[in-house]
Structures are given as C-alpha cells and as structure tokens.
Amino acid sequence: MSAPVFIAGLGVVSAIGNNVAECLTAFQSQQAGLGSITHLNTIHSGQLPAGEVKMDNDALALKAGLPPHISRTALLSTIAAREAWQDAGLHRLRGLRTGFVSANTVGGMDKTEHFFQQFLPDHRHGRLREIIHHECGSITELTADQLGIRDYITTISTACSSSANAIAFGSRLIQFNAVDVVVAGGVDALARFTLNGFHTLMILDHQFCRPFDDNRKGLNLGEGAGYVVLVSQKVAGLLGQTMYCRLSGYANANDAYHQTASSPEGTGSFLAMRSALEMSGLEPGDIDYINLHGTGTQNNDIAEGTAIRRLFDPNYPKMSSTKSFTGHTLGASGGMEAVFSALSIRHGIIYPSLRLETPMKELPFVPQTKFLKDVPVNHVLSNSFGFGGNCTSLVFSK
C-alpha cells in the first residue's frame, strides 16, 4: 500500500470475554465460550450450542450507556467500539476527521422478532420502539452517536466477510485522505431468524464445532463485536504511543459459485489471499500465522484448505480457527479476528484450534492445536469468506 495505515486501538466483546483483556486470558487458558443458549428465546435452546456473550440485555445496556430496549446488536457494537476508541487515546486529540465504518447482517432483528411475537396475535399490542432500529444502518448510527462521530458514517453488509470489508474500506478512506481516523469492524447478535436459517441449511453442529477436523459436522453460531482504530501515519505520530501493527494488505474477490457455498476449488479464497499478499508486497513464505475463516462446515473447510494448499504448498505457516472459541459471529467475525490478529503480532502468540483430533485427509497440513507464546509473529493473514462467494483477506504486519 502506498500510504501506511496503522492500527492504534482494539475493542472486542465475545463469548470468551467482555473486553480485549478477558479474551486474551481465555485464549491463554484454552477456554472456549460455547455453551447452551440462555439469552435468546428459541426452541433450539438446549439442543444447539452457541457462542453467546455472557451478559443479558440489561447488563449490556448498563455497560453501553444505552436504554435496555435498544437492540442487542447496538449494545454490543457500542461496547466494543468505545473500547477501541479509548484504547487508541483518540479523546486526547481534537479536530480530526473521523469515520465509522461498521458491518452487521442482522440489524435490530432481535427486537423486531419480539415485537411481532406480541403484535401478530393482537395488533393493539407491541411497542413500535422495538422496530424503528430494524435495519442494519440504524445500528451503525446509534453507535456513531455514542462515540460522537459525524464526519463519515456507513454500513457494510456482505455476509460473513462484512467487517473485514469494513476494515479494508476504512483503510481506503485514510489512504485517499477522506478522513484521518476510522473506527472499523462489525457486530452481530444472535436472532431466531439467523439460527433458524442456518439450521434449515443443515450446517449447524449439535456438538461443539471442530474446524478442520475430518469428522467435522458444521458450525456453531456466535455473537459479538470487534473494532480496530485505523489511523494515518500523521495521526500515529500525534498519538505518541506504540501502534499494534499495520494493515499492510487487503483484497476482496468473489467466485460467484453458489448462494451459500464456496467453490470446491476455493477460487474466491485463493484470489483474495493472493491479492492481499500482492498488495502487502509479501511472499507466502513471509506469513507467520493464518487466522482461518474455519467455520467447521464440510464445504468451507475443504474450500479454504484447498486454496491454502494452492498458495502456500509446500511451506505452510502456523494457522488456526478462533471460531472454535467464539463460534461463527457472521458479520462480526472479520472485525473480531482482526483484533485477534493484531494481538498475535503485539504479544507473539499463536491461537489453537480446539477439539481438532483427526486431521482432514484431503489436506497436507494440520492447524495448530496448542496455544503458543513468545514466538516471532511479523505478518498475519486473516480470512473472512461469506455467502455468495464474497471472500476477503486482510494482512497485518509488525
């Protein structure tokens, strides 16, 4: 990339922690956040595990400083984005042109579902305040208001690559001098619509997911939010603190193979990874760690694995799927995993893939199964591949 873009702050809330420090501790202890569904009112509670954030809406609202009738999506977004903002120290600077690029796929659907549950039997019932923030962009605007961001606000929704695309777009805004700072990432909360939809596709595992295991049965859904603060080189100097890393490359590709499946050859995955590496000026051998998209479905893991083999064979970097900890958080996954990638570089750590016992017979490599620390991590490749073949890869560099 011509003009460097740095990551100055991180914020995350997930099934394994309510902030960055708690998530890092969970990784170190190899403690997953998957379990029975308790906060979402669903017939699948007790049958399908998920990665729920361990706070109810009242607790989230108190932490976010918003009323409890606001969508869970907006509450999670505000908590994580505010942590990233404060971590970057942006409150110390004035006069910066600041943007907020946030992704989600569910909007305020959790509250919409509650409204219609009361409204349909009797049209005199139901609170209209539960549906006014239904659409995805409304969630972004609620969080931007909390942060006081006015210069540039937009929402991206490209399925599971959404927040990775938000980070790529945020970087472009800085490179083209449209803004000085961008808070970029994404959020998604669990909703019955999402859970039922994935269950209909028959790609949910009734046990804890096993990404890249030969006996994998599917994914576990999760919820959460993850944001990074992207800054120009000038702002990085003004902040006067050590940056986490650089966003050195990114790319989006689409294989247009199927509405909900990746091409068996992993065409979109391969193109996204290769193009991101080209932008960063790196060779495959320079990558120290791959944060896999790694959902645990039959189709996704073989497609991603085939693309990795094509690009990296015969020298494979360490790799793992952090979704084995958090579940698949859909529109939030790219943002959350960008946070985890930056932490990998800052602390010299490699995350494990949990519950991986039988390596996939089709692939010549095996993801990492133990937490590693004090290892040199200079470059991380993070993959986020969505429905419709929308594939995005990000490269983070020390």
199 is catalytic: no
**Residue 92 in tokens:** 């110390």
Retrieve residue 23's tokens: 């998530």
Instruction: Please state the three-class secondary structure of the chain as a single string.
Output: CCCCEEEEEEEEEECCECCHHHHHHHHHCCCCCCECCCCCCCCCCCCCCEECCCCCHHHHHHHHCCCCCCCHHHHHHHHHHHHHHHHHCHHHCCCCCEEEEEECCCCCHHHHHHHHHHHCCCCCCCCHHHCCCCCHHHHHHHHHHHHCCCCEEEEECECECHHHHHHHHHHHHHHCCCCCEEEEEEEECCCHHHHHHHHHCCCECCCCCCCCECCCCCECEECEEEEEEEEEHHHHHHHCCCCCEEEEEEEEEECCCCCCCCCCCCHHHHHHHHHHHHHHCCCHHHCCEEECCCCCCHHHHHHHHHHHHHHHCCCCCEEECCHHHHCECHHHHHHHHHHHHHHHHHHCCECCCCCCCCECCCCCCCCCCCCECCCCCCEEEEEEECHHHEEEEEEEEC
Single out the catalytic residue among 160, 209, 245, 391: 160
- 200's CB contacts (< 8 A; 6+ apart) are none
Examine the residue annotation and report whether 133 is marked as an active-site residue of this protein.
no
Choosing from 39, 328, 379, 391, which is the catalytic residue? 328
Residue 328: active-site member: yes
Neighbours of 226 (CB within 10 A): 35
Task: Name the active-site residue from 39, 44, 114, 293.
Answer: 293
Q: Which residues are catalytically annotated?
A: 160, 293, 328
